[in-house]
Chain A
Amino acid sequence: MRIALIGQPNCGKSTLFNQVAGYKAETGNFTGTTVKFTESKVRVAGQVVEIVDLPGAYTLEALSPAEREAASYLRSNEVDVIVNVVDASRLALGLELTLELLPLDKPVILALNMMDEADRLGLHIDGLGLQKDLGTPVLPLVASKGRGVKGVFLKALEVGKNGSKSKVNHFTKSENAGERHGQARMLAEKFVQQGERRISRRDRLDDVLLHPVWGYAFLLFVLYLFFQAVYGIGQLIEPPLLAFFDAITQGALAPFGSEGLIAEIILGVMQGIAAGIAIVLPYLLPFLFGLGVLEDIGYLPRVAFLMDALMHRIGLHGKAIVPFILGYGCNVPAVMSTRTLEEPRDRYLAAALATLVPCAARLAVVFGLVAFYLGPLAAFALYLFNLLVIAVTGRILNSMMPEDTPGLILEMPTYRTPTLKNVAGKAWFRVREFVVEAWPLLILGSAILAALNFYNAAVAFNLLVRPLTWSLGLPSEVGVPLIFGILRKELSLVMLSQALGTVNFGAVLSVPQMVTYATFVMFYLPCLATLAVLRRELGTRSMLAIAALTVVVAQLAAWIAWGATLLLL
Chain B
Amino acid sequence: MKTLLQISPGDSVRVIDFDGGINLRSKLTQYGIYPGDCLHLLRKAPLGGPLLVACNDREIALGRGVAEKIIVELQHCE
In the bound complex, do residue B63 and residue A317 qualify as a contact, i.e. CB atoms below 8 Å apart?
yes
Across-interface contacts of A241 in B (CB, < 8 A): none
Interface size on A, residues (CB 8 A): 36
B16 at the interface (CB under 8 A from A): no
A32 at the interface (CB under 8 A from B): no
Q: Which of A401-437 contact B (CB under 8 A)?
A: 405-412
How many angstroms from the CA of A59 to the CA of B62 in the assembled complex? 19
Known interface pairs A408-B61, A412-B52. Does A61 touch B27 (Cβ–Cβ under 8 Å)? no
Q: Which of A128-181 contact B (CB under 8 A)?
A: 177-178, 181
Known interface pairs A63-B23, A412-B61. Does A309 touch B31 (Cβ–Cβ under 8 Å)? no
Q: Which listed residue, B29, B47, B66, touches A408 by the CB 8 Å rule?
A: B66
Q: Which of A62, A89, A177, A407 has the most CB of B within 10 A?
A: A407
C-beta contact mask, A317-335 vs B, less than 8 Å → 1, else 0? Answer: 1100000000000000000
Across-interface contacts of B62 in A (CB, < 8 A): 407-409
Across-interface contacts of A93 in B (CB, < 8 A): 32, 56-58
In the bound complex, do residue B32 and residue A406 qualify as a contact, i.e. CB atoms below 8 Å apart?
no
In the bound complex, do residue A305 and residue B27 qualify as a contact, i.e. CB atoms below 8 Å apart?
no
In the bound complex, do residue B27 and residue A342 qualify as a contact, i.e. CB atoms below 8 Å apart?
yes
B46 at the interface (CB under 8 A from A): yes
Instruction: Tell me the minimal C-beta distance from A462 to chain B in angstroms.
Output: 48
How many angstroms from the CA of A407 to the CA of B42 in the assembled complex? 19
How many angstroms from the CA of A544 to the CA of B67 in the assembled complex? 37
Across-interface contacts of B11 in A (CB, < 8 A): none
Known interface pairs A58-B30, A63-B23, A411-B31. Does A301 touch B61 (Cβ–Cβ under 8 Å)? yes
Q: Which listed residue, B23, B31, B49, B58, touches A305 by the CB 8 Å rule?
A: B49
B45 at the interface (CB under 8 A from A): yes
**A–B complex contacts, Cβ < 8 Å, 15 sampled:** A59-B30, A61-B26, A90-B57, A206-B42, A212-B45, A301-B61, A304-B61, A305-B49, A308-B61, A406-B20, A406-B23, A408-B61, A409-B66, A411-B60, A412-B52
Q: Which of B1-54 contact A (CB under 8 A)?
A: 20, 23-24, 26-32, 34, 42-43, 45-50, 52
Q: Which listed residue, B31, B34, B45, B60, touches A306 by the CB 8 Å rule?
A: B45
Instruction: Tell me the minimal C-beta distance from A321 to chain B in angstroms.
Output: 11
Known interface pairs A90-B58, A93-B57. Does A409 touch B49 (Cβ–Cβ under 8 Å)? no
In the bound complex, do residue A408 and residue B50 qualify as a contact, i.e. CB atoms below 8 Å apart?
yes
Known interface pairs A63-B30, A309-B45. Does A409 touch B23 (Cβ–Cβ under 8 Å)? no
C-beta contact mask, A227-259 vs B, less than 8 Å → 1, else 0? Answer: 000000000000000000000000000000000
C-beta contact mask, B57-76 vs A, less than 8 Å → 1, else 0? Answer: 11111111110000000000
A266 at the interface (CB under 8 A from B): no
Known interface pairs A178-B34, A306-B49, A412-B52. Does A406 touch B65 (Cβ–Cβ under 8 Å)? yes
Instruction: Tell me the minimal C-beta distance from A226 to chain B in angstroms.
Output: 22
Across-interface contacts of B52 in A (CB, < 8 A): 206, 210, 305, 412
Across-interface contacts of A92 in B (CB, < 8 A): 56-57
